[in-house]
Every structure is written in C-alpha cells, then in structure tokens.
Amino acid sequence: MSAIRVVPNATTRAVSLLRTIQYTHPPSCPCHSNPNHHHHHQKGPLLTPYARRNTARGYATPQPEKEYAFEMAASAIRFGNGVTREIGMDLKNMGAKNVAVVTDGTVDKLRAMDQVRAALGEEGVNYSVYNRTRIEPKDSSILDAIAWAKPIMPDAFVAVGGGSVIDTAKLMNLYTCYPDADFLDFVNAPLGKGRPIDKPLRPLIAVPTTAGTGSETTGTAIFDLVSRRAKTGIAHRNLKPTLGICDPLNTSTMPSAVKASSGLDVLCHSLESWTAIPYTERVPRPANPILRPAYQGSNPISDIFSYNALRSTVKYLPRTVHDPEDEEAQYQMLLAATLAGVGFGNAGVHLCHGMSYPISGQNPGYKQHGYEVDSPIIPHGVSVAVTAPAVFRFTAASNPERHLQAAEAFGVDITNAKRESAGELLGEAINKFLDVLGDQPRGLKDLGFGREHIEDLVEGTIPQARVLMLAPGLATELEREKDQLRQLFEDSLSR
Amino acid sequence: MSAIRVVPNATTRAVSLLRTIQYTHPPSCPCHSNPNHHHHHQKGPLLTPYARRNTARGYATPQPEKEYAFEMAASAIRFGNGVTREIGMDLKNMGAKNVAVVTDGTVDKLRAMDQVRAALGEEGVNYSVYNRTRIEPKDSSILDAIAWAKPIMPDAFVAVGGGSVIDTAKLMNLYTCYPDADFLDFVNAPLGKGRPIDKPLRPLIAVPTTAGTGSETTGTAIFDLVSRRAKTGIAHRNLKPTLGICDPLNTSTMPSAVKASSGLDVLCHSLESWTAIPYTERVPRPANPILRPAYQGSNPISDIFSYNALRSTVKYLPRTVHDPEDEEAQYQMLLAATLAGVGFGNAGVHLCHGMSYPISGQNPGYKQHGYEVDSPIIPHGVSVAVTAPAVFRFTAASNPERHLQAAEAFGVDITNAKRESAGELLGEAINKFLDVLGDQPRGLKDLGFGREHIEDLVEGTIPQARVLMLAPGLATELEREKDQLRQLFEDSLSR
C-alpha cells in the first residue's frame, strides 16, 4: 500500500440533495502532478487536530495519514405493513432448523411476537425463545443471554424488539460463533481488545418494534461494561443483521412517550452523522481495510440517508406522537429510523451520544413522564436530545453550510441567513421542535442535574473516544476538551 | 400468509428529498377498521391493468393481489481514489487461495488491472486471469467463461471492467456453485426457468472501470440468448457482488465517447427507476419472499438513490465528457453510477431499456463517433437515451409530479408549470441535455433506422416483459401495447 498514497482532493466533495456541500480539504495537492502518486503533506505543526487527538490517545503512528476512502454497508431491509409474517418462510428458505428468538418480557406479549410465533409455527421451524433481554443491556445481562444460547447452538437468530434486544442478539450470535473468545476480545478498544470479526456469523433477522435505534441496519451493539463503569460496545460490519424486517404495524404498540424518545434518537442519529467530521479528516488511514471503522465520519452516501431521515423526522415525529391513529406518520417514522440507521451506521455519531451515556448512567432520579417503570429512567432518546441545542450551536462553526441546511430541514428560512448565525438558528429550531413534541425536559436541570454534577458528567464523557473523535471542533488537548465539554453541559442545564 | 392481507395505505407514500410524493393508491381501505386484517379489494372489472397484463402473460393467479412490501439490498461499496490497491488484503482477509480474475482484453492492459495484479502479488494471493469477456455478452461467451472456471473451481471471483465483465463474473460464480445446473435453469422466465438462487454464492469483488452500469451493486446479469434472439438475463439478490470497489482513478481511462454513453446509461437508470410504477402496483404479490423480484417498482428508498443520481448526472456528466482533467466530475459520476445502480437494482427500469435491446441488436450499421471498433456498434447508453425524450413524454401522465421533479433536476423552473406540461418539459430538457453532451444521435434516423424498421423493433421489445411490466401507462392488451410501442419508436425517429 505504501507505493500509492492518494491525497483527498476536490473529487471528495460531498454530493448533496439540495446543493453541493464542499468539505474543507484543499482541492488539490499542488506539489505533484501525477494524481496516482500524491503523498500526503502534513500541514502546520506536522499533525492535524485529529491526528493530535489520536496520537495523544495512543495510536502508534507518529504522523498518521488521513483517510482516503469510505465504505458503505447495510443490512438488507424489507419494509411493509404486515411483513413480519414472512419470517417463517425466510428461515425455512435459509434452511434454519434450530432458531433462537430473542426478545424481552414486554415485547414477548405483543403483536410482533405473536406474528413471529405464528409464522414459525406455520412453516414448522423449530425455535426457542429467550425473553430475559435487559433494556439498556449490561455485560452481565449479555453474558446471561450468551450462556442461554451456547448449549442450544442455534443455526439462526431472530431479534424481536428495540435496540437492546437487537444488540443483545448480535452479541449472542458473535459469541456462539466464537465460543472460546473472552468477552473483552471484541469489545471496542481501549476498554476491550477491539479484535476484528474475521468470519461471517450466523444469519440474524431483526424485527424492530420501535422506530428509533436503526440497529436492524447496523453492525453496532451497545452495552454497559459495569466493571469499567462505562457505556461501550462492539462495532463491526460482520455484526450486521442479515435482514431487517420493518413492519410499521409492530411499532403501533409503542406508548406515545416511547415514540417520542425513540424518535429523538432518530433525530440525533441524523443530525450527528450529518455534522460529523468528513471521513477525509479521520485518522489514521487503516493499514488494512478490515480495520476501517463503521463510524468513519460523514461521507457522500451517508449524507443522503442522514439528511432524508432528518427531514422525515421533523415532519412525522410530532404527528406520530400526538396521533396514535396516524398510520402514515408511523410508517414514515420507521422508515426514517431505518434510513438514519444506515446513515449513522456508516458515518457515526458524536457529542449528543457521547454525552448521553453519563447522563443516563448518572441519573439523579428522573422518571420520564409516560414510562411505566418502577425505577428512575432517562430514556436514551431523551438523554441524547437534551444536549442537542447546545451541541449544534457549538459544532456549527465547523461547517456553517451544513448546519444551515439542517436548520432548513426544520423549516427555517435560510435564504438570507448568515453563516455566523447557523448555530443559533439550528439550536433554536431544535428547541422549538422539542417544545412542539411536548413532555420533554427543558435542560439537564429538569432531569435533576445541577452545576455540582458537571464534573462527573465530563469525566463520564471522556472515555467515549470512538464517538468524540468524530465531533467537529472538539479540542484534542485533554484539558481544553474537558473545558469544552464542561461548557456544553453547562449550556444544557436549561434552555 | 393468507390470514394477513394488508392493503397498502397512506403510509406507503414515498418519502422524497424535496417534498412528499404521493403514490396514487387510495389512502385507506374504508370497509375495515382493523388494520391487521384488511383484505384487498379489486376495483372495477376485478383486475387492475397490471393484473390484466400479468394474467394475460400467463401468471397462474386469476385475481392476483398487489404487492404490499419492498426489499432493499445492495452490495457493500468502498469508494475512493486509489482504493483498488486494497483488494489484495480483502482477498487475504477472506482466506481466498485460488482467485479467478475476470476482465476483457482492453481492460487487461489498463491501470485497473495493473493495480489488481500488484495488490494480489503483494499479498501473495494465487490467481488466474480470464480476459476473453465479450462486450455485450452472449450465452456462448458466458458458457466459454464458465467452462474456463469449472476446472479451476475458484474460491473467490474478482471482476475488473464494465458491466459486461461484472455480469459475466456473476454468472461464472453462479454456475460454478451449481455445476450440474442447466444454463436455462436460472435464466429469467419465460425464456428460462427462473429458478431462484437458494444458497449463497462465493465472494465476488467487482471493480468497475466505467461509470455506467452500476452492476457492482446489483444482482442482475444481462446477456443475449442467441438461440432465442433475445436479450435476457438472470436476476437474483444472491448474484450481488460481496463488495464493489469504486476507484474513480480507474474510470479516467475511458475515452470521452465511452464516458458519454456510460453516463447516459446512468441517466436512464435513474429516470426509469424514478418513474417506474410504485411497488404497490406490481402484481402478483409473491407467495414466498424469495420470489420477490429485485425489479419491484419504485419505492421510498430506491427513490432517494434514483433522484440523487439523476441530479448528479445532470450536473457532472457534461463536465466529465468535455474535460478529461476534471477529477471531481469523474469522482461524482462514478458515485452517481453506483447510486443509480442501487436505485434501479431495487426498483427496475422500463421502456428505455426494454426498447434499447432491439435497437442495439438490429443496428443497421451505425458506428458511434469516438468508439474505435471494427464492426458497427450502438453503445448501450446511446441506445437507451435515444428514446428517452419520447418515453418520458409518454409516461408523464402516469405521475405528472414525479416527471416535473425530474424536469427540475435538469434545471427547469417548475414553479408555475402545469401538470399537463410535465411530459413536454421533461422531454425537452432531455433533448437539450443530449445536445449539450454532443455527438449524440438526434433520433433513430441518425442510427440508420427508418419507418420500415419499426415493426421489427416493436417485435423485439415485446419479449422484455420483466421491464415492460414496470412501465407506467403501457397497455396490457397486446395489440394496444404494440400500438403504443410503435408510436414511441416513431416519435423517436427524429427530435
């Protein structure tokens, strides 16, 4: 590979739906005339900010090259009202004889599981049901699920539920295919060993029952690593489900509050992947394509998914939350969740998600209105959206055009808007949207957080290197980065 | 499955980039209140036009139900200047030890093959090269390629070239995985037996050297079935390449005329898939998901790909044709070809493609300017684009909004445009675009066709049922359909 180093040039500019977005990379490398033999020039103090960040964080290469390619992959998606019932034929077509159906105690009693059971029964497919999936899975809950699966050794997996269920099923699939692996082997570095998944796993069909995570399209599984007090995960393309069966009728069972928080997750998936650093700014360029992360920064194909998902979410989320009979909105929100899943699954998320993990984990006692739960819970979507106004005010300077376009997706007239106003316009648009949605906290104070919690929230965010490295404008020097995060949490206290 | 029949409703409306497109299906089924148990009502004379078409063509169901779901699948795509060189590591990561590299005599001498050879050499991957691929493959040329591969029994395939090469490699993969199958077993019905591919094939990495076919993303392979004097093919999702390696530097070797005709193929892929009948109008609903065709009609996800590809092609194709140094345009055209591939690969094409096969096959002696060939050739892209102005004038009545949006992609101001003018506006926009591109025939007459050829052209189009069934507005009664095709060829004689 060392013979060919190609500098990203004008041709790496993003295609956009509405206009051409220009990435900030210089359009050509002026010192060389042969485009096949460009060498990358480090500018200024030898390393770019992202290079400095990564070097500081222990990457081996002293002068890492920037990325020059992107890769897009997504699960096959089947979409339609009532399509769950095809799953029996799918499994029979695959020749599956011993299927593990993964769900949780709630979904086990709902329409989606009824349909799956009926479909498997009709086709005479043998299956076992695991329904102990924990919402917001922990390593211990995942180990329980893996321990359940190992003696069964299923030849195919079916996940019926929200992101927690689908993510748990992905890990059951992984660790039954690598029965001798240590749990930390595949966990994202630096908490785990970040071992790549070097063989195909068994078929996994995901049947989402929320319009939120997009996990049916991605190779990511998220959980709490309790021993390290951190939210982390495993991310590799081979974790992707074989097929996502997206049946809007399965999402009609969501209570309104769950629709809202799931939908806010979609909103942030699309906003964060749309505004993530361009893939050409990510370092290091992987030495082997198997090491190219799925969270690779924004790119011309993820942009298309992310921006479409954003527009749809703005249009349909309030409708689906306020009118449980609005089938069109329900269909469009599941579609938006899936599109956003493809977008962020190949581009990544950044600050809202990175900051959300300590917010959920350090919950002072908040219970989301409309959630029938015994213990306090800040739903994932609420914890990502609560910082969104402050986050996008902060990131706007990195790419004002993109932030103006995001504001336009919220209906803001940007005809005469100035670049310097991009953050303010987008932040205000998000605020208004949250108010229209209703029942949303107006900042961290409403969740029970005060200034005294900020230091712990900052400390809980720092380990989220995998997403923070995609945040535009975040400093690479640790103390400066902490200052910025402190300010973001402070700006998120109330709005 | 018979217990659940769900009528497509308002929620099947398409998501659009610029506004919401509404499909023409009624928004709800008024006689039933339980959305899980709608039954489909046949309107009017029991069968819809498409049902009549299919019944007339020999489908068994007397009252076939319309489709209610769509499925999206595409190859993983890696995209970047210089990325070809990663292919050695990819094959090594897969554990491939005996690779068949498929190319043609021309590409074998170009940069792309140099890069592939070097990459395989660096990683010490054992490979054999087949370079006898015929441009516009015939069954005999494909059988030659399969006969070459069978004794080698490769464990992975690499295709380096345009659509002909990639399609040939797909079929080499298929028939070495089913060594006892008869060639016609998998060929699209009614010419072949249309047997579904019921197991995964071997890994296939496609490296396109033209920005045209999008074959690197699709499960389609097209060839001439000489014995039946027809262009046909094999289409199944399992034919899809594992990975498309899209390296814009590989497309810089195309002569200008090849860039133009490849790009016109992209233009028609995007226009035809964008205007194809909606998937909810396709019949019959498949009895088993394995029978759901890849060419399923337009749907909310293919729409996103098709419309983006259309906008990019309009913007970048003239630049790449007129300025061989314009690397940005070259990058964007390869991206557009790939996006259009995902679009039409999941939605289908219709009249331009259906009519192009007899145009190419019955060439009276035309040689495209800029093609250095001994025998006459109407390049595929030229043969699809020559009827486009007439085709979209004809199809506009089926969905004026969509055709107006297509005209807008060409830069037409549609603010005050009337629905009735949609066809005229789009047809005129395509005419202008072809003129700006230059060196394009101004109709079939410029290719050497006259009125005396029309009957044969019509007869050569009729067998293209697989794409004609996706053409909006085409009659189902054979004589009426022939009249319409006759008129379309006549309207395409000159412009």
d(CA A359, CA A35): 47
Token duo for residue B110: 């170009």
- Whose tokens are 């986050």? That residue is A391
d(CA B314, CA B354): 23
State in Å, rounded, how far the first CA of chain B is from the last one: 50
pLDDT tens by residue, A161-175: 999 999 999 999 999
Q: Residue B63 — very low, low, confident or very high, per pLDDT cuts 50/70/90?
A: low
pLDDT tens by residue, B283-294: 999 999 998 988
Average the pLDDT over B305-312 and give the result. Answer: 98
By CB atoms closer than 10 A (0-12, 13-18, 19+), residue A142 is buried
Chain center to CA of A293: 13
CA dihedral A188, A190, A191, A193 (to 10 degrees): 60
**Confidence (pLDDT) at A176:** 98
pLDDT tens by residue, B20-58: 222 223 233 223 333 333 333 333 333 333 444 444 444
The DSSP string of B165-177 is: HHHHHHHHHHHHH
**Confidence (pLDDT) at A42:** 32
Which residues in chain B touch residue A27, judged by CB atoms under 8 angstroms apart? 328
Sign of CA dihedral A433, A370, A160, A227: positive
**Confidence (pLDDT) at B67:** 96
- E strands present in A184-229: 204-208, 220-225
Partner-chain contact B1 A86, CB within 8 Å: yes
Q: What are phi and psi of A128, to 5 degrees?
A: -125, 145
User: Taking a C-beta distance cutoff of 8 angstroms, is the pair B17, B306 a contact?
Assistant: no
pLDDT of A333 > 60? The answer is yes
Q: Which residues contact A278 (CB under 8 A, 6 or more apart)?
A: A12, A14, A23, A24, A25, A297, A298, A299
d(CA A48, CA A66): 9
Question: What is the layout of strands, in order, in the sheet containing A76-79?
Answer: A127-130, A99-102, A156-161, A204-208, A243-246, A76-79, B70-72
pLDDT of A7 > 80? The answer is no
d(CA A129, CA A148): 10
The DSSP string of B224-266 is: EEGGGTEEEEEE-GGGS-SEEEE-GGGGGGS-HHHHHHHHHHH
Which residues in chain A touch residue B299, judged by CB atoms under 8 angstroms apart? 79
Q: Please give the DSSP secondary-structure letter assigned to residue B469.
A: T
A348 vs A279, A296, A302, A341, B308, CA distance in Å? 10, 6, 9, 10, 22
Q: Residue A354 — very low, low, confident or very high, per pLDDT cuts 50/70/90?
A: very high
* Domain at A255-491: CATH code: 1.20.1090.10
Pick the residue of A86, A201, A303 with the most B CBs within 10 A to test the interface with B by mutation: A86
Please give, rounded to a whole number of angstroms, the shortest distance from the CA of B358 to a CA of chain A: 34
pLDDT of A270 > 80? The answer is yes
Which residues in chain A touch residue B339, judged by CB atoms under 8 angstroms apart? 301, 304
d(CA A352, CA A350): 6
pLDDT tens by residue, A370-413: 887 788 889 999 999 999 999 999 999 999 999 999 999 999 99
Please give, rounded to a whole number of angstroms, the shortest distance from the CA of A76 to a CA of chain B: 4
Percent of chain B scored above 90 by pLDDT? 78
SS3 content of chain B, % helix, strand, coil (to 5): 50, 10, 40
Pick the residue of B21, B37, B79, B201 with the most A CBs within 10 A to test the interface with A by mutation: B79
User: Taking a C-beta distance cutoff of 8 angstroms, is the pair A225, A175 a contact?
Assistant: no
pLDDT of A55 > 70? The answer is no
Which residues in chain B touch residue A316, judged by CB atoms under 8 angstroms apart? none
**Confidence (pLDDT) at A135:** 87
By CB atoms closer than 10 A (0-12, 13-18, 19+), residue A428 is middle
Partner-chain contact B328 A13, CB within 8 Å: yes
**Confidence (pLDDT) at B231:** 83
Q: 10 Å Cβ neighbour count for B485?
A: 27
CA dihedral A243, A246, A247, A253 (to 10 degrees): 120
d(CA A306, CA B141): 43
Give which of A399, A312, A416 is closest to A21, Cα–Cα: A399
CATH 3.40.50.1000 at B76-252, yes or no: no
Q: How many CB contacts within 8 angstroms connect chain A with chain B?
A: 200
User: Taking a C-beta distance cutoff of 8 angstroms, is the pair B156, B203 a contact?
Assistant: yes
Q: 10 Å Cβ neighbour count for A301?
A: 26
Measured at the CA of B110, the angle between CA B105 and CA B113, to 5 degrees, comes to 85
Pick the residue of B6, B11, B339, B346 with the most A CBs within 10 A to test the interface with A by mutation: B11
d(CA B324, CA B319): 8
pLDDT tens by residue, B381-408: 999 999 999 999 999 999 999 999 999 9
Which residues in chain A touch residue B19, judged by CB atoms under 8 angstroms apart? none
Token duo for residue A441: 């906290």
Token duo for residue B479: 């004589």
Give which of B289, B250, B281 is closest to B64, Cα–Cα: B281
Sign of CA dihedral A425, A429, A431, A435: positive
Among left, alpha and beta (phi > 0; psi -120 to 50; other), residue A194 is: left
pLDDT tens by residue, A272-295: 999 999 999 999 999 999 989 889
**Confidence (pLDDT) at A63:** 66
pLDDT of A331 > 60? The answer is yes
**Would strands B70-72 and A76-79 be described as parallel, antiparallel, or unpaired?**
antiparallel
Q: Please give the DSSP secondary-structure letter assigned to residue B209.
A: S
| Residue A458 one-letter amino acid | V
Token duo for residue B495: 């412009």
User: Taking a C-beta distance cutoff of 8 angstroms, is the pair A17, A444 a contact?
Assistant: no
d(CA A357, CA A232): 9
Give which of B275, B303, B267, B270 is closest to B386, Cα–Cα: B267
Residue A65: enclosing H or E segment and its boundaries? none
| Nearest neighbour of B85 by CB, restricted to A4, A89, A93 | A4
Which residues in chain A touch residue B8, judged by CB atoms under 8 angstroms apart? 81
Percent of chain A scored above 90 by pLDDT? 78
Chain center to CA of A183: 22
Q: Residue A56 — very low, low, confident or very high, per pLDDT cuts 50/70/90?
A: very low
Average the pLDDT over B194-213 and give the result. Answer: 94
Q: Where are the alpha helices (DSSP H) in A123-255?
A: 139-152, 163-177
The DSSP string of B69-115 is: -EEE---EEEE-TTGGGGHHHHHHHHT-SSEEEE--TTGGGSHHHHH
User: Taking a C-beta distance cutoff of 8 angstroms, is the pair B234, B185 a contact?
Assistant: no
Among left, alpha and beta (phi > 0; psi -120 to 50; other), residue A368 is: beta
By CB atoms closer than 10 A (0-12, 13-18, 19+), residue B484 is middle
Q: Residue B495 — very low, low, confident or very high, per pLDDT cuts 50/70/90?
A: confident
d(CA B91, CA B98): 10
Q: What are phi and psi of A85, to 5 degrees?
A: -70, -10
Region(s) of chain B under CATH 1.20.1090.10: 255-491
Which residues in chain B touch residue A76, judged by CB atoms under 8 angstroms apart? 71-73, 237
Partner-chain contact A304 B301, CB within 8 Å: no
Angle between helices A300-322 and B300-322 (to 10 degrees): 150
Q: Which residues contact A429 (CB under 8 A, 6 or more apart)?
A: A406, A407, A410, A411, A412
**Confidence (pLDDT) at B62:** 55
pLDDT of A14 > 50? The answer is no
Partner-chain contact A289 B5, CB within 8 Å: no
Average the pLDDT over B418-443 and give the result. Answer: 97
Which stretch of A20-29, A117-126, A476-485, B433-442 has the lowest confidence by average pLDDT?
A: A20-29
Give which of B134, B157, B159, B139 is closest to B210, Cα–Cα: B159
d(CA B103, CA A67): 29
Helix (H, G, I), strand (E, B) or coil at B426: helix
Please give, rounded to a whole number of angstroms, the shortest distance from the CA of A69 to a CA of chain B: 4
| Mean per-residue pLDDT over chain A, rounded | 87
| Nearest neighbour of A68 by CB, restricted to B81, B299, B329 | B81
Average the pLDDT over A90-111 and give the result. Answer: 96
Q: What are phi and psi of B245, to 5 degrees?
A: -100, 105
Which residues in chain A touch residue B315, judged by CB atoms under 8 angstroms apart? 20
